[in-house]
Structure 1
Amino acid sequence: MRNTTLLRTPSVMWFLIALSLFTLGTVVMAEMGLVSTSMVKTLGKTLCLCLVAVAMDVVWGYCGILSLGHMAFFGIGGYAVGMWLMYARTEGIVERSLANGALPPTEGEIRDAIATQIFGVVGSSEFPPIWAFAHSLPLQLLAVVLVPGLLALVFGWLAFRSRVTGVYLSILTQAMTLALSLWLFQNDSGLRGNNGLSGLQNIPGFERVPQSTISIVFFVASAVALAVGYVLFARVVSGKMGSAIRAIRDDEARVRFFGYRVEHYKLFVFTLTAVVAGIAGALYYPQAGIVNPAELAPIASIYLAVWVAIGGRGRLYGAVIGAAFVSLLSSWFTGGGAPPVDLGFYTVQWTDWWLVLLGLSFVAVTLFFPQGIGGLFDRFGRGR
């Protein structure tokens, strides 16, 4: 019988078991009232960040492409599903308000009223062309996959066929992210500029369902997405495909000399990870409630690289550990959970010093634990 991915890599099985127990335990405690709704949302968002971190680990840790633009794909997925959420929710509000009129409203009047409600904040009352399919959930879900995938495909094809590598490729991905972020900040971008899309936690058709139930549904969906993504990428990085992309990471020129189409491998990995990042964003932002251009800023992709480095790049579970560890720690420090430290001459407020602490942690891991937290698990396993 042919070995499966689970049999070839026992770490995948152990990860799925741990994720299943964590998901089940969180749901049971949430139903018992031991875990708050806000905490369930935080954990659900953390699972989405773990998924995009795994994608980043595949493209950087395994294939050697330091992409500083994968959070742009993450944000695009959020915008795609957020457009339908805003449209459908506003449509319900408008229809209820116009139903009290003497005459039933026409479709044109309803659409104009929806446009005024959504874009009045930026001084407009018309739908931009980019919102042509916002009324259709299936089409917007398709956009979650297609838009990041096509953007990554075009960008990767232009970059890889020109054999741009190393720091120059990282700068190009960062420039792409910056250009996209600056465009979204403009009011005439069609996506409400700096205001972004808000109220995404209110799911149309489920207004009477409590947020506690909706948060559990999204939490479970995020866990399932992480499990499927983890198994998918474990399959990609194993076998002949995994050997090829690791060889490209270690010595691209030699792999090309052996006759491999390096550009095809890199383009496949870059596009696939972009699609998964878009799906993670589509699950993240309904739990966050808002998406704006700041989420696509280059600094967000730099944070993503830091998570992977701290967790241990080149290890899928390392990316999960790094993203979960830093994300939850960030929520604790910036959310007021960490008490201030009084030094007598100065009081340390962690909301102001968290980024400094994160930067120092990244430097310390780079200097003393270059294999990250995941490397410590590997060392313990070899010792055992």
Structure 2
Amino acid sequence: MQRSFFLKYPSVLVFLALLALFTVLTTLLSEAYGLGTISTGMTKTLGKILALCLLAIAMDLVWGYCGILSLGHAAFFGLGGYMVGMWIMYERTREIVVASLSNSLIPPTDQEINDAIGAQIFGVVGSSEFPWIWAVSNSLPAQLALVLLVPGLLALAFGWLAFRSRINGVYLSILTQAMTLALALYLFQNNSGLRGNNGLSGLQNIPGIGAVSQDSLAVWFLWASALALALGYGFAAWLVSGKFGSVIRGIRDDEARVRFLGYAVESYKLFVFVIAALIAGIAGALYFPQAGIINPAEIAPIASIYLAVWVAIGGRGRLYGAVIGAAFVSLVSSWFTGGRVPDLNLGFAKVVWVDWWLVLLGLSFVAVTLLAPKGISGIFDAFAHRRHPDRHGAPLGPETGALQEREAQE
């Protein structure tokens, strides 16, 4: 009788239980539904961190399990945010325009309302016309579909061209970085249709629920982010647990051998790349409404490098390691850059942690790479006390001279 997935992999159940406990405790301590111990700003920060943990899982799938060091997954993350942000900004602006024109003696026409919305949104870049990419921005279902379609199609096109050419290693990393740099530079232009450097703002004001306070909305997004993280973690764990996971790990360790065994390596890599892009898009759609703004800087290559640092520090090749890395670095970053750490006066120099945080992060990445390649998650491995199978000296294979128990433990 085949055991259930959760019985076979109890660590997944443990993670889901801890995530549920964290969500419940945060809700009970929030200003909206609890004791008020956790401020609304901190609730939003925790919700954003959960979305970043989902993004880290996407990075771990493509890098930790498949061996593709993508330095462009922030592009898919940002595109997901832009897609949902377009609907939020359009509908929110429409509410304001309709309310302001409601006192007119002559009721405004639909065209006048549309022109006023365009002037409000694009006046900052010297335009009032809606670009074609905003064609369905008034439809929430359509924009939610684009959260998946746009990152997915970009990943499919890029991955198909790169993998069919058998580009690997550092060359592929450079290409992914070039992709996200090109996209960021395009979005910085005022004629990109997404307000250039200004980006999309006011995303924390969700249309249609103006009566809901920000403290309640912060908890709602926390719930949504926790649910998405739970589903994403469970799906990723299921994906890497069976034969598919064994194949992509084989591609990571020895791509040539896997290809020699007859597997379509390029198809596996493309599938993982696209799936990771879809997960990143969902993470972006949850993150940026909580952040309140998105601009092209969120897609810059440095954002993808941060993502790789999170996964490395947490421990790549372990889904919980990616989550730990993203959560740990994000919390510490918020602590250092939020002015909570007093400056260090050395006499001959003064260390301002807001300025030196990135240096500290870089040194931490180097230290983990050299001294603890398994990352923070390696600590859990040390405490797990994984025992070798008790075969009492029996051969580990059918051939004479197969490894014995003593040799397997060395």
Under a length normalisation based on structure 2, what TM-score does the superposition of the two structures give?
0.93
CA distance in 2, matches of 1:26, 1:204: 25
Aligned residue identity for 1:248: I
Higher relative contact order (CA 8 A, sep 6+): 1
1:92 corresponds in structure 2 to: 95
CA offsets 1:217-240 (integer angstroms, 9 cap, x no match) = 000100000000000000111110
CA distance in 2, matches of 1:33, 1:123: 44
1:241-252 map, 5 Å: 241-252=244-255
CA distance in 2, matches of 1:322, 1:335: 19
Aligned residue identity for 1:19: L
1:240 aligns with 2:243: yes
Aligned residue pairs total 384
2:11 corresponds in structure 1 to: 11
1:295 corresponds in structure 2 to: 298
List runs of 5+ in structure 1 lacking aligned partners.
Answer: none
1:202 corresponds in structure 2 to: 205
Is the CA contact 1:76–1:144 (under 8 Å) kept in the aligned structure 2? yes
Match of 2:104 among 101, 104, 115: 101
Q: Partner of 1:93: helix, strand, or coil?
A: helix
1:116 corresponds in structure 2 to: 119
CA distance in 1, matches of 2:5, 2:183: 37
CA-based RMSD: 0.9
Tell me the CA shift for residue 2 of structure 1.
3.1
CA distance in 2, matches of 1:357, 1:23: 30
1:157 corresponds in structure 2 to: 160
Match of 2:313 among 307, 310, 314: 310
Deviates more, 1:202-211 or 1:281-290: 202-211
CA distance in 1, matches of 2:3, 2:122: 55
Q: Partner of 1:372: helix, strand, or coil?
A: coil
CA distance in 2, matches of 1:306, 1:3: 36
2:366 corresponds in structure 1 to: 363
CA distance in 1, matches of 2:11, 2:70: 26
CA offsets 1:285-305 (integer angstroms, 9 cap, x no match) = 000000000000000000000
Tell me the CA shift for residue 186 of structure 1.
0.1
1:326 corresponds in structure 2 to: 329
1:175-190 map, 5 Å: 175-190=178-193
Is the CA contact 1:68–1:302 (under 8 Å) kept in the aligned structure 2? yes
Tell me the CA shift for residue 69 of structure 1.
0.6
Match of 2:132 among 121, 126, 129: 129
Q: Partner of 2:322: helix, strand, or coil?
A: helix
CA distance in 2, matches of 1:7, 1:70: 33
Match of 2:75 among 39, 52, 72: 72
CA offsets 1:312-364 (integer angstroms, 9 cap, x no match) = 00000000000000001001100111111111222211100000000000011
Match of 2:270 among 267, 287, 311: 267
CA offsets 1:189-222 (integer angstroms, 9 cap, x no match) = 0000000000000011111211000000000100
CA distance in 1, matches of 2:4, 2:107: 60
> Which structure dedicates a bigger proportion of its chain to helix?
1
Aligned residue identity for 2:145: L
Tell me the CA shift for residue 383 of structure 1.
6.6
Q: Partner of 2:205: helix, strand, or coil?
A: coil
Match of 2:226 among 223, 227, 233: 223
2:404 corresponds in structure 1 to: none
1:140 aligns with 2:146: no
CA distance in 2, matches of 1:8, 1:25: 28
Aligned residue identity for 2:29: M
1:28 corresponds in structure 2 to: 28
2:2 corresponds in structure 1 to: 2
1:169 corresponds in structure 2 to: 172
CA distance in 2, matches of 1:347, 1:175: 37
Is the CA contact 1:312–1:319 (under 8 Å) kept in the aligned structure 2? yes
Tell me the CA shift for residue 188 of structure 1.
0.1
CA distance in 1, matches of 2:365, 2:84: 33
Under a length normalisation based on structure 1, what TM-score does the superposition of the two structures give?
0.99
CA distance in 1, matches of 2:320, 2:310: 12
1:345 aligns with 2:348: yes
Q: Partner of 1:237: helix, strand, or coil?
A: helix
> Measured at CA, do residues 268 and 4 of structure 1 come closer, stay the same or move farther in structure 2, by a change above 3 Å?
farther
Is the CA contact 1:5–1:234 (under 8 Å) kept in the aligned structure 2? no
List runs of 5+ in structure 2 lacking aligned partners.
Answer: 388-410
Runs of 4+ in 1 over 4 A off after TM superposition: none
